[in-house]
Amino acid sequence: MTVPWPAEPDVHLRIDLQGVILHYAAHPDAAYRLIEDQRIHRYIDNVSVVPGDGSGLPRLPCEQLYLAP
């Protein structure tokens, strides 16, 4: 998968799913929408943006869903 907008730096997301810690790279808008969605639906134990970039990390699964209008 290619980065949706290569000019924008990815962020590093840390997702906690019942003690399983996952690390992903995501576009900042997708990360923001995921966090907002999590606040409403509470299906993730914790999601946070880790300082630094997300280079070398796998892309957030279904990232495009959070970027669609």
Q: Is residue 2 part of a domain?
A: no
Q: Is residue 36 part of a domain?
A: yes
**Digit-coded pLDDT (tens) for 5-39:** 557 889 999 999 889 999 999 999 999 999 998 88
Q: Is residue 21 part of a domain?
A: yes
What order do you get walking across the sheet with 46-50 strand by strand?
A: 20-26, 11-17, 46-50
Assign 61 a pLDDT band (cuts: 50, 70, 90): very high
Q: Is residue 35 part of a domain?
A: yes
Structure confidence at residue 4 (pLDDT): 52
pTM of the predicted model, to two decimals?
A: 0.82
* Domain count for the chain: 1
Say if residue 60's pLDDT is above 70: yes
Q: Is residue 33 part of a domain?
A: yes
Rounded mean pLDDT of 40-63? 89
Range of the domain at 34: 11-67
CB–CB of 34/60 below 8 Å?
yes
